[in-house]
């Protein structure tokens, strides 16, 4: 199966690299000839600035550009998938078989990734197309799953809690440490260990800290230490949520 | 310098192991003879069930047991340090030189730890004792810092945000994924990458997600998906905090 990856951003780059590493036939198409040439040179892959024919088109552009790009594909016998976590298949507006091929990872150009560990979620109009995409995805990744658009919404929501909000907690934590001139890097081993733990345990079973210990002395002390309004609200809501989860009084 | 570690829990075990690995003279003391013998056998270290003399005593027991244990040390020329993140030096009630020797890590018996990466924070009554403890700590760890009890309170608060609350976000995220029958392990590569990022970047500079993108369509969609009251409150407060940090309307 011949695939064309559309786009020249981070998702396009990493998917192209993953295809190349597995010797899957792939070429690149996009508007940014300079970027395409750079990726094409680095990965030793062909690129086009006029759309070639292919069995599969993977649209790797920002959510708001998907519709416009999707209208440029004239091949009715092609399978076309976007790679967005947030859009339905129907965001694709051309006359062809529509699908979604969503790799769950945060991509930046410079980072090295182990593609076999990146989960890929697929969603297609027919079981046949779903199988084609699942087969292709499993050439790259050891974690492949078919999910509906409805489930994909929850997938995205879960990622917001487990990643976006986690990063924001790090940002608020760093503010507290910075004000005391304690280098934030001193917290990295503890953070690493916190994450290592949930590779083998249910997070609910390994909760630690003053809230789950119901240590009111420390909770009151902490409340007095916090000066930032948003940080104080986070402290209250998180502790309340912990108390509720563990049925504490 | 001769050190006696008091206790037989996880902190006692890992500190004893760190001392042993660096060939620092150390022995164990505690009430739980069975556990002491087990650790002593594994690490090939002497243990006592009656308190021996030593230059330094490291009290590695739970916060609420520190005072009682501290009263059992009769040696006025000794240096005695507890290993708690939350207690002042004055929690030690005997007549001797008092200090704190606080390793910032979450300890469980089975996990393997690289002790050279675990930050150790010291606090003593005199600069001389602080130097003794800093010197000892730097035999074990590459990150040693002297901090006051006041700073230590903020250190603990920072750790609550960066670790306890992060783990709780994982627990709430897992609830959402579980309800959709999406295995939580599919999120681990993304979580690992989120943490890997902040080893090299300021978390505030690498925030992603719908809140910082000011993507109101997705924010409204997510609000409708959440059914759990506590999860909904976390969603609102975290997004509000992100909007405030990045001055979004």
User: For A127-147, how does the pLDDT look when each residue is reduced to its tens digit (9 = 90+)?
Assistant: 999 999 999 999 999 999 999
Q: Which residues pair with A58 in a beta bridge?
A: A5, A81
Mean pLDDT, rounded, for B113-126: 96
pLDDT at A211 over 90: yes
Q: CATH number of the domain at A152-245, please?
A: 1.10.1040.20
Instruction: Record the tokens describing residue B189, joined without a space.
Output: 């590569």
Mean pLDDT score of chain A:
96
Residue A111 pLDDT > 90, yes or no?
no
Greatest alpha-carbon pair distance for chain B in Å reads 68
Average pLDDT, chain B: 96
Phi, psi of A6 (to 5 degrees): -105, 125
Cβ-Cβ contacts under 8 Å between A and B: the total is 287
Parallel, antiparallel, or unpaired for β B120-124 and B97-103?
antiparallel
Q: Tell me the C-alpha distance between B33 and B47, whole Å.
A: 9
Which pLDDT tens digit goes with each residue over A52-84? 999 999 999 999 999 999 999 999 999 999 999
Rg (CA), chain B: 22
Among the ranges given (B66-80, B100-114, B130-144), the one the predictor scored with the smallest mean pLDDT: B100-114
pLDDT in the model for residue B79: 98
Question: Band of the pLDDT at A160, cuts 50, 70, 90?
Answer: very high
- pLDDT at res. A65: 96
Residue B33, pLDDT > 90, answer yes
Which chain A positions have a beta carbon within 8 Å of B145's beta carbon?
182, 186
For residue A204, name the pLDDT band (cuts at 50, 70, 90). Answer: very high
Q: How confident is the model at residue A114 (pLDDT cuts 50, 70, 90)?
A: very high
> In this predicted model, what pLDDT tens digit does every residue of A13-24 receive, in sequence order?
999 999 999 999
What does the pLDDT look like over B50-59, one tens digit per residue? 999 999 999 9
pLDDT (average), residues A156-168: 97
With a cut of 80, say whether residue B220 has pLDDT above it.
yes
Query: Which pLDDT value is given to residue B177?
Result: 97
Domain boundary assignment for chain B: 3-147, 152-245
CB nearest to A105's CB, from B154, B189, B230: B189
Q: How many CB atoms lie within 10 A of CB A213?
A: 16
- Within 10 angstroms of residue B217's Cβ, the number of other Cβ atoms is 10
- What confidence category does residue B176 fall into, taking pLDDT thresholds of 50, 70 and 90? very high
> What is the pLDDT at residue B109?
82
pLDDT of A4 > 80? The answer is: yes
Contact B59, B70 (CB under 8 A): yes
**Cα angle B239, B242, B248; round to 5:** 100
* Preferred mutation among A170, A216, A218, A239 to probe B, highest tally of B CBs within 10 A: A170
Q: Which of B106, B145, B234 sits opposite A238 (nearest CB)?
A: B234
Q: What angle do CA A141, B193, B141 make, to 5 degrees?
A: 130
Is A86 in CB contact (< 8 Å) with chain B? yes
What is residue B108's predicted lDDT score, i.e. its pLDDT?
83
Do domains A3-147 and A152-245 share one topology? The answer is no
If residue A139 lies in a helix (H) or strand (E), which one and from where to where? helix A127-140
Q: Where are the strands (E) in B39-119, listed by range? A: 47-48, 56-59, 79-82, 97-103
Average pLDDT over residues A99-126: 93
The pTM for the full model equals 0.94
Q: pLDDT > 90: what percent of chain A?
A: 96
User: With the CA atoms of B63, B67, B72 and B78 taken in that order, what torsion angle do they form, in degrees rounded to the nearest 10?
Assistant: 90
pLDDT of the residue at A110? 82
If pLDDT is split at 50, 70 and 90, which confidence band does B189 have?
very high
Is residue B107 very low, low, confident or very high in pLDDT (cuts 50, 70, 90)? Answer: confident
Pairing of strands A97-103, A120-124: antiparallel
**In degrees, to the nearest 5, what angle opens at C-alpha A161 toward C-alphas A155 and B225?**
55
| Cα–Cα distance measured from residue A87 to residue A150, given in angstroms and rounded to the nearest whole number | 10
CA-nearest residue to B188 within chain A is A199
Task: Determine, for residues B157 and A172 on separate chains, whether the beta-carbon distance falls below 8 Å.
Answer: no
Q: Give the helix/strand (H/E) hosting A123.
A: strand A120-124
The predicted structure's pLDDT at residue B154? 97
Q: How confident is the model at residue B115 (pLDDT cuts 50, 70, 90)?
A: very high
pLDDT at residue A107, as a whole number: 86
Distance CA B80, CA B98 (A): 5
Q: List phi, psi (to 5°) of B228.
A: -75, 130
User: Cβ–Cβ contacts within 10 Å for residue A87, how many?
Assistant: 20
pLDDT of res. B110: 82
Kindly state whether B211 is in contact with chain A, defined as any CB-CB distance less than 8 angstroms.
Answer: yes
Give φ, ψ of B185 to 5 degrees.
Answer: -60, -20
Instruction: Return the closest-CA partner of residue A91 out of A75, A58, A68.
Output: A68
Does the structure show a pLDDT above 80 at B249?
no
Which fold is adopted by the domain A3-147? Answer: Rossmann fold (3.40.50)
Chain B (165-204) residues lying within 8 Å, Cβ to Cβ, of chain A: 165-174, 176-177, 179-180, 182-183, 185-199, 202-204
pLDDT band at A121 (very low <50, low <70, confident <90, very high): very high
pLDDT of residue A183: 96
Alpha-carbon gap, residue A237 to B38, rounded angstroms: 42
% of residues, chain B, pLDDT over 70: 100
Maximum pairwise Cα distance, chain A: 68
């Amino acid at each position: 199966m011949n695939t064309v990856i559309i786009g020249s951003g981070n998702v396009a780059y990493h998917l192209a690299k993953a295809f190349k590493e597995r010797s899957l036939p792939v070429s690149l198409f996009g508007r940014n000839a300079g970027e395409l040439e750079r990726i094409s040179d680095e990965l030793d892959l062909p690129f086009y600035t006029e759309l070639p024919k292919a069995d599969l088109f993977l649209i790797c552009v920002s959510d708001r550009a998907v519709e416009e790009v999707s209208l440029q594909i004239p091949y009715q016998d092609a399978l076309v998938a976007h790679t967005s976590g947030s859009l339905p298949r129907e965001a694709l507006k051309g006359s062809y078989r529509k699908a979604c091929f969503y790799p769950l990872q945060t991509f930046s150009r410079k980072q090295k990734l182990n593609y076999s560990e990146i989960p890929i979620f697929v969603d297609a109009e027919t079981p046949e197309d779903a199988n084609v995409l699942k087969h292709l995805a499993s050439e790259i990744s050891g974690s492949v799953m078919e999910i509906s658009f409805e489930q994909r919404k929850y997938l995205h929501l879960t990622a917001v809690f487990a990643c976006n909000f986690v990063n924001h907690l790090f940002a608020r934590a760093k503010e507290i440490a910075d004000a005391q001139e304690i280098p934030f890097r001193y917290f990295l081993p503890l953070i690493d260990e916190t994450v290592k733990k949930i590779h083998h345990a249910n997070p609910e079973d390994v909760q630690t800290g003053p809230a789950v210990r119901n240590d009111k002395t420390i909770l009151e002390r902490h409340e007095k230490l916090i000066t930032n309004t948003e940080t104080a609200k986070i402290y209250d809501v998180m502790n309340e949520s912990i108390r509720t989860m563990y049925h504490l009084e």
